Amino acid sequence: MGMKSYASSDIRNIALVGHSHCGKTALISAMLKTARTPTDNGGAVTAYEEEEIARGITMSNAVAFAEWHGTRINLIDTPGFHLFVYEARAAMVPAEAAAVVINAQNGVESVTSTVWKFAEEMNLPRVLVINQADHARTASEAERDLLVEGLRERFGRQVIPVQLPIVGQQGFHGVVDLVTMEAFLYTPRSDGIGVRGPIPAELEAPAKAAHEALVELVAEGKDELMEEFFAVGTIPREHLVRAIHEAIREDRIFPILYTSALSNVATDHLLDFIEVYVPSPHERPPIAAHTLRGTLSRGNGKVGGNGASAGAPEAVAGAQTESGDDTILCSVDDAQPATLFVYKTLVDPFAGRISFFKVISGCIRNEISLENYNRGEAERLTHIGVMQGRKLVEVAELHAGDLGVVAKLRVTQAGDTLGVKGHDLRIDAVPAPEPAMTYAIEPKSRADEDKLAPALHKLMEEDLLLRFYRDPQTNDFLLAGAGQMHIEAVVSKLRRRYHTEVTLKSPKVPYRETIRAAATGHGRHKKQSGGHGQFGDCKIRMEPLPRGAGFEFINDIFGGAIPRQFVPAIEKGIQETAVRGHLAGHPMVDFRATVFDGSFHEVDSSEMAFKIAGRLAFRACMEQARPALLEPIMRVEIDIPDAAAGAVVGDLNSRRGRVQGMETQGQRAVVSAQVPLAEMLSYGTTLTSMTRGEGSFRMEMDHYDFVPSAIADKIIATSKRPVEELEE
Ligand SMILES: Nc1nc2c(ncn2[C@@H]2O[C@H](COP(=O)(O)OP(=O)(O)OP(=O)(O)O)[C@@H](O)[C@H]2O)c(=O)[nH]1
Ligand SMILES: [Mg+2]
């Protein structure tokens, strides 16, 4: 084994983020190759799942590491496809910096802006890597300048090149290091190690200008450096290196580097840069955690991933913050008590649950027992390790700041904080977004039905975007996720990992029914031929109630027309019939039923007879109560490129949508609207084609409203009328 352990100062954690296809996964593989890291699968070390390989994209975060000059560089690969961009945000929590990878051909793309915003919100240091520099766009100086200008325009004047690409007959084959003013030349498609050489003559002047621009920006606001700069005309190298390091840590500069993952050019320099300039875990500001004292309950976590539970830890912590000083700052330090934060879970069908964690403080060794603060249970960390893509490499210990994994924890979920017993603190996890699309799924066989729920619960543990539940109304199994591709990948994993076959269907819309007019009805159930007879008789009044009121029942019987003990049976008869609906089999809501008269028989009256009478009275009311269909109206937020706004709004109108506002920011627009759910079932596909894959949307239930009558007529015509059941 002999896997070395690294002190905090020799660790770097960096998340690679950026638009799909910019080359993050390829870049990690190239860096591993340059650092001569042994890996299992030569190709895409960090995108190994079949669903990822088939689509050529990364779908969930994965970790790999390289040793570079004795420093352990942990590389977190993240998805750039818009549906999975939430993962990139989660990857930033354990990282000290983000490498924002730019496709040299395309410049800033939609997800580039999204991940930038995430990093900005977390004050995370950023390094811009222009990858695919082998493309024609970086061949001409004019195009190169345009690319850099575009980045500065979008992300601010702190964006500054620390390299110039060297492009010749053979394409991109080297970089000028603008700090040391040396050139490094490469043989494309070889070991990725550059050979030091002089700066090519034609780059001398631009390199000098770029060096000065860099020095000036770094020295800005730093009086000693400014004085040195003006007195000597430059800053000594070691001062400059330290100043750049500090400026990156404080988000005062966002350096630009160049690479080609495909031809493995300048990946050694990227590793150098991360080693020298990216902050180590204990150089970043301490991590904020919340302590939970006193009365608040433990274990209000997110097992099952259903509904709003993901937000629970924040809500609890927030409540405490208002009342006192519960926020504590954890510095990344071996000398502090052991604490770790679980940022991801993987459920391997063979190895079981693998928890990915960052050591916040202390030193974690095999066999350590820690308390899971979120669940209030002890966990034993029997075998700790580190991930190299899909492969778990065991280690003996991990120091503060390092990223590790542990297999087979019992109760721990992503987002949990673990530590020594007696403490109690929680680090905030990034809340998972609400699902944007729901499908009904149908198990193919009885055996598949039995396997479905356990299999999906395993998938939900590692995929916090996924929700699984049974629609209480339609009885369908529903699977909700980020979009069509997400759900299709889940179906594929069900088949591949858990041998569970399901078919995907458009979900049924949970319509409801209600009444629009008051009515009275008489129900009389009488059967008195031979033996013990049956007799129940009631009169009810029904009135509409406002939306959301549900069902109300009032007993308005005077003078004992119906004995008290039979009244609940009438209510039950009405309610049981109402949930089956009157028009199209959907539950009837928002009405009041009042029983005001009736009669009974000394011997033949029974609860059952009054229940049937209630049902008959309800049906009688329906003849005059003007029943109507209600449908769910969703609150929808659509994030699109500005240029697509016209098409998107036009399309919303054709979906009976009501546009409520539009906000533009740079090249992006966010449209908010209210749209009936029935019109949104396959919206993801339409949006993708209207925006060439650069749009995304979220929606949530807002309220119920009447279905327009022409549409209601069609729904009623195609639905089964409720069959009247007779108990005898
Ligand atoms: N020419 C060229 N192609 C590259 C380079 N890097 C990556 N590619 C190609 O670009 C495509 C996408 O690369 P990936 O590494 O999968 O991109 P990614 O950023 O991980 O994409 P997502 O996982 O979807 O976010 C692949 O076909 C790569 O071979 C490069 O430096 N030059
Ligand atoms: Mg990838």
Ligand 1 pocket, residue 81 CB under 6 Å: yes
**Probe residue for ligand 1, chosen from 16, 17, 19, 22 as the CB with the greatest number of ligand atoms within 8 Å:** 22
Predicted pLDDT of residue 721: 57
- The residue whose two tokens read 């983000």 is 98
**Residue 549: other Cβ atoms inside 10 A:** 13
What does the pLDDT look like over 628-661, one tens digit per residue?
Answer: 999 999 989 898 999 999 999 999 999 999 999 9
* For the CA of 27, the nearest ligand: 1
The region of weakest confidence among 56-65, 81-90, 546-555, 690-699 is 690-699
User: What b/e sequence results for 408-430 when a residue is b if at least 16 CB atoms lie within 10 Å of its CB, and e otherwise?
Assistant: ebebbbbbbbbbeeeebbbbbbb
Report which residue type is found at 547: R
Classify domain 287-426 by CATH number: 2.40.30.10
Residues of the chain with CATH 3.30.230.10: 512-625
Query: If you measure from the C-alpha of residue 412 to the centroid of ligand 1, how many angstroms do you get, rounded to a whole number?
Result: 34
The model's pTM: 0.77
Query: If you measure from the C-alpha of residue 485 to the centroid of ligand 1, how many angstroms do you get, rounded to a whole number?
Result: 19
Query: If you measure from the C-alpha of residue 715 to the centroid of ligand 2, how many angstroms do you get, rounded to a whole number?
Result: 44
Consecutive H or E run containing 98: strand 97-103
Consecutive H or E run containing 638: strand 627-641
- Residue nearest atom 27 of ligand 1, based on CA coordinates: 21
Percent of the chain at pLDDT exceeding 90: 68
Ligand 1 pocket, residue 261 CB under 6 Å: yes
**Probe residue for ligand 1, chosen from 16, 17, 19, 25 as the CB with the greatest number of ligand atoms within 8 Å:** 25
Query: If you measure from the C-alpha of residue 360 to the centroid of ligand 1, how many angstroms do you get, rounded to a whole number?
Result: 32
Spelled out in words, what is the top-level CATH class assigned to the domain 629-710?
alpha beta
**Residue 641: other Cβ atoms inside 10 A:** 18
* For the CA of 81, the nearest ligand: 1
DSSP string, 466-499: -EEEE-TTT--EEEEESSHHHHHHHHHHHHHHH-
Predicted pLDDT of residue 308: 32
Query: If you measure from the C-alpha of residue 24 to the centroid of ligand 1, how many angstroms do you get, rounded to a whole number?
Result: 6
CB distance 139 to 171 below 8 Å: yes
**Probe residue for ligand 1, chosen from 16, 19, 21 as the CB with the greatest number of ligand atoms within 8 Å:** 21
SS3 track for 537-575: EEEEEEEECCCCCCEEEEECCCCCCCCHHHHHHHHHHHH
SS3 track for 286-346: CEEEEECCCCCCCCCCCCCCCHHHHHHHHHHHHHHHHHCCCEEEECCCCCCCCEEEEEEEE
CB distance 510 to 474 below 8 Å: yes
Spelled out in words, what is the top-level CATH class assigned to the domain 444-505?
alpha beta
* For the CA of 55, the nearest ligand: 1
Classify domain 512-625 by CATH number: 3.30.230.10
Residues of the chain with CATH 2.40.30.10: 287-426
Look over the chain and give the mean of its residue pLDDT values, rounded to a whole number: 89
Residues of the chain with CATH 3.40.50.300: 8-283
What does the pLDDT look like over 591-630, one tens digit per residue?
Answer: 999 999 999 999 899 999 999 999 999 999 999 999 999 9
Residues 6+ apart with CB under 8 A from 192: 30, 31, 33, 34, 186, 264, 265, 266, 267, 268
Q: What's 42's DSSP letter?
A: S
Consecutive H or E run containing 406: strand 403-407
- Residue nearest atom 12 of ligand 1, based on CA coordinates: 21
Predicted pLDDT of residue 294: 35
Ligand 1 pocket, residue 79 CB under 6 Å: yes
Q: What's 87's DSSP letter?
A: H
Q: Measured in whole angstroms, how far is the alpha carbon of residue 227 from the centre of its chain?
A: 48
Ligand 1 pocket, residue 21 CB under 6 Å: yes
User: How many Å apart are CA 435 and CA 308, to the nearest integer?
Assistant: 11
What does the pLDDT look like over 538-586, one tens digit per residue?
Answer: 999 999 999 988 999 999 998 889 999 999 999 999 999 999 899 988 8
Query: Quick one: average pLDDT of 515-520?
Result: 97
* For the CA of 106, the nearest ligand: 1
Ligand 1 pocket, residue 22 CB under 6 Å: yes
Q: Measured in whole angstroms, how far is the alpha carbon of residue 653 from the centre of its chain?
A: 29
CB distance 240 to 179 below 8 Å: yes
* For the CA of 22, the nearest ligand: 1
Strands 126-131, 534-544: pairing kind: unpaired
Classify domain 8-283 by CATH number: 3.40.50.300
Coil, strand or helix: which one is 193? coil
Report which residue type is found at 297: S
Q: Which atom of ligand 1 is nearest to the CA of 19?
A: 25
**Residue 209: other Cβ atoms inside 10 A:** 11
Residues of the chain with CATH 3.30.70.870: 444-505
C-alpha dist (Å) from residue 437 to 92, 307, 478, 568, 618 = 26, 14, 10, 41, 37
* For the CA of 112, the nearest ligand: 1
- Residue nearest atom 6 of ligand 1, based on CA coordinates: 23
- Residue nearest atom 4 of ligand 1, based on CA coordinates: 262
Predicted pLDDT of residue 131: 98
- Band the pLDDT of 293: cuts 50, 70, 90: low
**pLDDT(351) > 90:** no
What does the pLDDT look like over 4-46, one tens digit per residue?
Answer: 889 999 999 999 999 999 999 999 999 999 999 988 766 789 9
Q: What are phi and psi of 522, to 5 degrees?
A: -120, 130
| Percent helix / strand / coil, the chain, rounded to 5 | 30, 30, 35
Phi-psi category of 702—alpha, beta or left, where left has phi over 0 and alpha has psi -120 to 50? alpha
What does the pLDDT look like over 294-350, one tens digit per residue?
Answer: 323 333 333 333 333 332 233 333 333 334 447 888 888 899 999 999 999 999 888
Predicted pLDDT of residue 343: 96
> Which two three-digit tokens encode residue 241?
């290196």
Ligand 1 pocket, residue 23 CB under 6 Å: yes
Query: If you measure from the C-alpha of residue 28 to the centroid of ligand 2, how many angstroms do you get, rounded to a whole number?
Result: 9
Coil, strand or helix: which one is 504? strand
Predicted pLDDT of residue 319: 33
Instruction: Name which residue leads in pLDDT, 343 or 433.
Output: 343
**pLDDT(149) > 90:** yes
Percent of the chain at pLDDT exceeding 70: 93
Query: Quick one: average pLDDT of 125-138?
Result: 92
Query: If you measure from the C-alpha of residue 261 to the centroid of ligand 1, how many angstroms do you get, rounded to a whole number?
Result: 8
Ligand 1 pocket, residue 26 CB under 6 Å: yes
- Band the pLDDT of 719: cuts 50, 70, 90: confident
Ligand 1 pocket, residue 24 CB under 6 Å: yes
Residues in the chain: 728
What does the pLDDT look like over 90-103, one tens digit per residue?
Answer: 999 999 999 999 99
Return the half-sphere exposure (C-beta side, CA atoms, 13 A cut-off) of residue 381.
31
User: How many Å apart are CA 526 and CA 246, to the nearest integer?
Assistant: 90
- Band the pLDDT of 475: cuts 50, 70, 90: confident
